[in-house]
Structure 1
Amino acid sequence: MKFLIIFWGAFFFFFSAPFPIFIYMMGEELATEPRNSLAVSYGYLGFSLLIWLYVILFFINILFIKTFKEKNTIQSILRNGIPREAKIINYKLLKYIPKTNMNIIQIILSFPNLRNTGIEHEMMFHDSKPQEKRFDVGNKVKVLLNPNVSKEPYFILSDQKVGFNTSGIVLRIVFAVLMIAYITGLYYYFYMRESFDFGWRFLTFMHPIIFSGVMTLIYILVFQLLISRLFKNKKEERILFSGRNAEANIISVSQTGLLVNDQPQIMFQVSFKDFRGTEHITVCKKIVSLLNLSSVPKSGTIEIMYDENDPKKIIIPKGF
């Protein structure tokens, strides 16, 4: 997975930065006369500045602001988090790092959520003291739930340490500086090369100043789309950590026709009563493994969790 992310990141970077410049320099003759009117050229200039400003703000948010917000959220949970005792019901060693004597592990925890509904949740992290075997199956650990479910993370281990990776921060700063230098250099180089005392009237949509920005914007949109597909739906996470459980009557079960990693998506139409006694009819979609398709219930009841503020939003927390 890491290799694929690096590969596609390098691929999209090539087509958003050097490729538009290379194509332009190879195929465009140097114009010594204005290509556009003053109004059109300043329109293109403003359009390019808006694109590059969005790109800069996006990366600053991803590289710095989001990281600092997550750190502040974890510190807030350490101070004000709601304590729970969690039982480890599954353990998997993903990788051992001999240099630091650390294990990268994946565990499944069982504990009550904010509404005291029992849930199971998977987490992956570095175990810095593997010799203590704190995370063997059957052991119990202390966790802290985030009382504000509008922010991630939704829970942390009670002894979790918060800090910044110095080398990682330095690399982020270097990347941000190089990106701003590239954008500034793009404007400076082509203005000095093509303005000929006519200002910005050499700009066209296919000019690298604009087209490189457009390609970078497409790269960002593709990145966001991939991230949204790779990671679990945040709405489901919020319901899992703050929702209530209920027994729902199955009305109908059908396949939607959508396949995710060759696994079918199943749509359940169910009816249930919330904790106030109000009955609701709603639908829920769930990806089911082909191996477990035959065990999907077609009738009877099924355990669900729902958002008490909007009971139409439900999830099926357990697999089949």
Structure 2
Amino acid sequence: MKFMIIFWGILLFFFCIPFPIFIYMVSEELATEPRNSLAVSYGYLGFSLLIWAYVIIFFINKLFIKTFKEKNTIQSILQNGIPRDANIIDYKLLKYIPKENMNLIEVKFSFPNLSNTVIEHKMMFHDSKPREKRFAIGNKIKVLLNPKVSQEPYFILSDQKVGFNTSGMILRIVFLVLLISYVIGLYFYFYSRESFDFGWRFLTLMHPIIFSGVMTMIYVLVFQLIFAKFFKNKKEERILFSGRNAEANIISVSQTGLLVNDQPEIMFQVSFKDFKGTEHIAVYKKIVSLLNLSSVPKYGTIEIMYDENDPKKIIIPKGF
């Protein structure tokens, strides 16, 4: 997995930076005459500045602002979080790190959510004290729920430490400095090489100043699109950590025709009454493994969780 991330990162880097410059250098002849009118050239210049500003702001937000916000959120939960006793119902050792005497583990907890509905949730983290066996199955541990369900994380361990990874922050700073230096160098180099006292009238849509920015922006948009697939899961987690449970009657169960990694998507239509006694009909779509397809209930009742503020938003927390 790590190799694939590095591979695609290098590939995207190639198509965003050296590739547009290389194509331009081998296909375009150095023009000593203006290529565009003054108005068009300044239009291209403004367009390129907007693209690069968007790219730089995106990385500043992802690499720094979001990190500082998450740190502040964790500190707020440590001070104002709602305490819960969590039962450990499953434990998996994913990796042992001998250099730091640390385990990478996946633990499944069971605890009451913000509405006092007992839920189950998996969490992957590093255990810095593996000899204490604090996360053995059957043990209890204190967790703190985030009272603001619109923010992540939704819960943390009560003794969780918060801080920055120094080497990671240095790498982020170096990356941002290199990106800004590349953009400034791009403008400076081609202006010095091609302006010939005509200003920015050498710019075209396929010029590296613009094309490199467009390719980088496409990379950013693809990145956001990939992560957008996880937004649904985040919405489901919000319901999991703040919603109420109910027993729902199954109206219909059918396949939508959509396959995700060759696994079918199943659509459930159910009816249920909320805690006030009001009846609702809701639809929920869930990806089900082919191995578990036969265990999907077709009729009867099923346990759901719903959003108290919008009962038509539901999840089926139990897997098949």
Same fold at TM > 0.5? yes
Query: Counterparts of 1:258 and 1:105 in 2: how far apart (Å)?
Result: 33
TM-score when normalising by structure 2: 0.99
1:174 aligns with 2:174: yes
Where do 1:213-252 residues align within 5 Å? 213-229=213-229, 233-252=233-252
Match in the other structure for 2:129: 129
1:79 corresponds to 2:79: yes
Deviation at 1:115, TM superposition (A): 0.1
- Which ranges in structure 1 are unaligned for 5 or more consecutive residues? none
Does 2:214 match 1:210? Answer: no
d(CA) in 1 for partners of 2:14, 2:116: 50
After superposing the two structures, state which structure 1 stretch, 54-63 or 1-10, moved more: 1-10
State the partner residue of 1:119. 119
Which residue pairs with 2:294 in the alignment?
294
* Number of positions where the alignment pairs a residue of Structure 1 with one of Structure 2: 320
What amino acid maps onto 1:246 in structure 2?
A: A
Deviations 1:117-145 (A, max 9, x none): 01000100000000000001111110000
Report the equivalent of 2:61.
Answer: 61
Residue matched to 1:37: 37
Instruction: Provide the rounded CA distance (Å) in 1 between the counterparts of 2:260 and 2:88.
Output: 29
Letter in 1 for 2:135: F
**AA in 1 matched with 2:271:** S
Q: Partners in 2 of 1:221 and 1:301 — Cα distance?
A: 42
**Paired residue for 1:273?**
273
Measure, in 1, the Cα distance between the counterparts of 2:2 and 2:66. Answer: 21
Query: How big is the shift at 1:264?
Result: 1.0
Aligned-partner SS, 1:199: coil
Give the structure-1-normalised TM-score.
0.99
The residue number in structure 2 matching 1:17 is: 17
- The aligned amino acid for 1:237 is E
Q: Deviations over 1:72-117 (max 9, x none)?
A: 0000000000000001111100000111100000011000000000
Superposed CA deviations along residues 154-178 of structure 1, whole A, max 9, x for unmatched, are 0000000000011111111000000
How far 1:315 sits from its partner (Å)?
A: 0.4
Partners of 1:186 and 1:66 lie apart in 2 by 28
**Deviation, structure 1 residue 231:** 7.0
Identity of paired residues, percent? 84
The residue number in structure 1 matching 2:52 is 52
Where do 5+ consecutive residues of structure 2 fail to align? none
SS across alignment from 1:134: coil
Does 2:140 correspond to 1:140? yes
CA distance in 1, matches of 2:271, 2:209: 56
CA distance in 2, matches of 1:223, 1:104: 26
Instruction: Please report how far the alpha carbon of residue 307 of structure 1 lies from its aligned counterpart in structure 2 after TM superposition.
Output: 0.4
Cα shift at 1:205: 0.4
CA distance in 1, matches of 2:97, 2:209: 45
* Structure 1 runs, 4 residues or longer, greater than 3 Å off: none
| Counterpart in the other structure of 1:305 | 305
In 1: Cα distance, 2:185 partner to 2:66 partner? 27
Partner of 2:189: 189
Task: List per-residue Cα deviations over 1:223-269 (Å, max 9, x = no partner).
Answer: 11222336762110100000000001000000011112221110000
CA distance in 2, matches of 1:84, 1:18: 53
Counterpart in 1 of 2:283? 283
User: Match for 2:301: what amino acid?
Assistant: T
1:9 and 1:232 map into 2 onto residues whose CA distance is 25
- 2:259 alignment partner in structure 1: 259
